[in-house]
Amino acid sequence: MNIESNRLTRGFHFKTQLSEGMESGDDSVLRCRSALPKMPTISNLDGIGGEGSNGENPCNGEIHSNGKMEVERLISKKLQLKRKAEHLKFDLMRQFDSQVLEFMDSLIEESASLEPAPVPAVFSPPLSDKERSKLRHLQGSSQGKQFVFRRSLLDELFEVNHIRTIYHMFIALLILFILSTLVVDFIDEGRLVLDFDLLVYVFGQFPLVVITWICMFLSVLVVPYSLFHTWASHYHESHHGTLWSLLLGALFLLYQGLGLGFLPTFVVVKNSFPPASCFIIILEQVRLMMKAHSYIRENVPKVLALEKDKSSSSPVSPLIPQLSHYIYFLFAPTLIYRDKYPRNPIIRWSYVASKLLQVLGCLFYAYYVFVRLCIPQFRSISQQLFDLRAMVLCVFNSILPGVLVLFLAFFAFLHCWLNAFAEMLRFADRMFYKDWWNSTSFANYYRTWNVVVHDWLYYYVYCDFLWMSKKRFRAAGMLLVFTMSAVVHEYILAICFGFFYPVLFCLFMCFGMMFNFILHDRRKGPIWNVIMWTALFLGQGVIICLYSQEWYAQRYCPLQEPSFLELLKPRSWSCHLQTNPAVDS
C-alpha cells in the first residue's frame, strides 16, 4: 500500500508541475525537465504513442503526449552512449591483445634465459667453473638461440575467422586463374587444354636431381661428423694440438668449398638443369653447408673448454654427439645445432598432409601466375625497344605477379614446408617467421621475414665477428651480414637462371642498406608500414621485370663465341637490335 501511495503521489506532483509549467511560459522549461524521471521504464517506453492533440509541450513548442519529447532525447543519448561503449570496448580489446602478446613474448624470453640450453647429461657431463668460463669465452658474449615450445604465427591467426577469410580470398583468386586459363584455351583451341608444359619443363631431369641430392646428403652425413670425431678424440692426446686443428680444419674447409660447393654446381651447370631442378640442388647445397658449419661451430668449443684443465679427468668422448642427433639436425627445420630440441608428444599426420597439399597448391598457383601474368608480357621481349617508357611500364605491370610470387614463396616454404617437417620430427619450436607484415622498418622486416636464416647470420656471422673484433666494429659486422646475404642470393639466381645479372645484389647492397638505416626501428606509425610495403612491392616488380627480360633475351638472342665481357653484359640491353625469325613468325 505504501508503494502504491508513493507512486500516486509522484504522479500527482508530476502532473501538477506539468500543468503549472504550461501556464508559466518560458520559465517553465526548467521545471518541465526536472519533473521528468531520469530513465524511463519499459512500460513507459512501450506506452508512448504518436503525436496527439491532448496537450502542448512548452519545452519545444510542439504538441506531444506526456513526456514524449524528453524520453526520445533520453533514448538518443542512450544510443550514443552505447556506440561510445562499443568503440571503447574495441579499443580496450585491441590494447589488451597487444599487451598480452607482449607479456607472453617477454615471459617466454625470460624463462628461456633463466634455464640453460637442454643438454642431456649422457652426452655432456657437468663442467667445472673453469670449463664453463672457457666455454663462454670461446662462444663470445651471446648465449645462443633458445628453443622453446611455440606455434607458427599463421596457425594461430587462422583460428580467427577474419584472418582466415583472407586465405579464402587467395583460394578464390586461384580458382579464377584456373577458369580464365581454361576459358582462353577453349576459345583459342576450341577444346579444353589441360597440359602443364611449364611444370614439366622446370622440373626436368628429376631422377638426376634425386641422385645428386643423395650424394650431397651422404657426404654431409659422413665427412663433417668423421672429421669432428677424429679431431675431438685425438686433440688432447696430441702434442701438436694446434697443427692437428689446422690440418683437420683445412680438410673441413676444403670439403665445404670443393666437395659441397663446387661439385654440385658443376653437375647443375654441366647437365643444364632447368630452373626448378636447379633451385632444389643449389638451395639444398647452401642449406647443408650452413648446417655443417653450425655443427662444427657449436661442438668445437665444448672440446676446447677442456684444453687448459690438465687436472680434469672428464673424458672427451661424451662431448661428441651421437650420430642420431646429427642426423636429426640435418632434417630439422633449423640451422642452429643443439643436442636436444623441445619435442611434441605426438605426430598429427592430418596436419602434415594438409601442409603438403598446400605446398602443392602453391606450386600450381605459381604456375598460373606465370602463365597468365608473366609469359604473355615477356614472350615478345625481343620485339620491343629498350627505352625508359617500356621499362617503367614493365616494372609496374610486374608488381602484381611479383607480390603474388613473394606471398606464395613465403607461405609454401616458411609456413607449410617447414611446419610439415617440424610435425613429422615432432620439432616443437615453430617460430620460422614473425609478423613481418606489420613491420614499420626494413630493419625489423629483415629480422622477422626468415627467422631460420636470420638466426644463423646473427649468431655465426654478426656475433662471431663482434667477438673477434672485441665489439669495436658493429657497422662493419652489419655490412658483412648484408654482403654475405647478397652474394649468396645472387649466386643462387645466377646458377639457376644460367646468367649473371646482379639486380638482386644491387638491391640488397644499395637500397637494402639505405632503407635499413633510414627506415630503422625508431620509425613507428602506420605511414611507415605503408612506405615499407610500397618499397617492397616496387622491388618485387623490378626483380620480376628485369630477370624475366634477361631470361627471354638469353633464349632469343644467343651469342656466337661471346667474349668474357659480353657474357657479363646483360643481353636484354641489345637483344632488340637483332632480328629473331622464330619470334617474328
For the stretch 115-124, pLDDT in tens is 444 333 333 3
pLDDT at 301: 85
- How confident is residue 414, by pLDDT bands cut at 50, 70 and 90? very high
Question: What are the two backbone dihedrals, phi and then psi, of residue 429, each rounded to the nearest 5 degrees?
Answer: -85, 100
In eight-state DSSP terms, residue 127 is P
More confident residue, 44 or 537: 537
Most confident of 23-32, 92-101, 544-553, 567-576: 544-553
Rounded average pLDDT over 96-119: 52
Q: Which three cell numbers stand for residue 302?
A: 665444448
pLDDT at 582: 40
Residue-wise over 149-176: b if at least 16 C-beta within 10 A, else e?
ebebbbeeeeeeeeeeeeeeebeeebee
In eight-state DSSP terms, residue 362 is H
**Sign for the pseudo-dihedral over CA of 295, 298, 299, 304:** positive
Q: Is 454 a catalytic site residue?
A: no
Angstrom distance (rounded) from CA 222 to CA 292: 11
In eight-state DSSP terms, residue 56 is B
Rounded average pLDDT over 90-107: 63
Q: Is the pLDDT of residue 284 over 90?
A: yes
pLDDT at 454: 92
Q: Is the pLDDT of residue 584 over 70?
A: no
Quote the mean pLDDT of the chain: 76
pLDDT at 116: 40
Residue type, 31: R
Q: Is the pLDDT of residue 316 over 60?
A: no
Which residue(s) pair with 150 in the sheet?
A: 429
pLDDT at 76: 77
Q: What is the pTM of this model?
A: 0.72
Query: Contact at 8 Å (CB) between 429 and 148?
Result: yes
Q: Is the pLDDT of residue 265 over 50?
A: yes
Query: Which of 168, 229, 454, 489 is the catalytic position?
Result: 489
pLDDT at 579: 40
Rounded average pLDDT over 109-138: 43
pLDDT at 309: 54
In eight-state DSSP terms, residue 496 is H
Residue with grid cell 669465452, as numbered in its chain: 137
Distances (CA, A) of 522 to 364, 440, 441, 525: 40, 9, 8, 10
Rounded average pLDDT over 86-102: 67
CA angle 24, 27, 31 (to 5 degrees): 90
Angstrom distance (rounded) from CA 321 to CA 122: 10
pLDDT in tens, 420-446: 999 999 999 999 999 899 888 888 888
Q: Which run of H or E residues covers position 156?
A: helix 153-157
Rounded average pLDDT over 250-260: 92
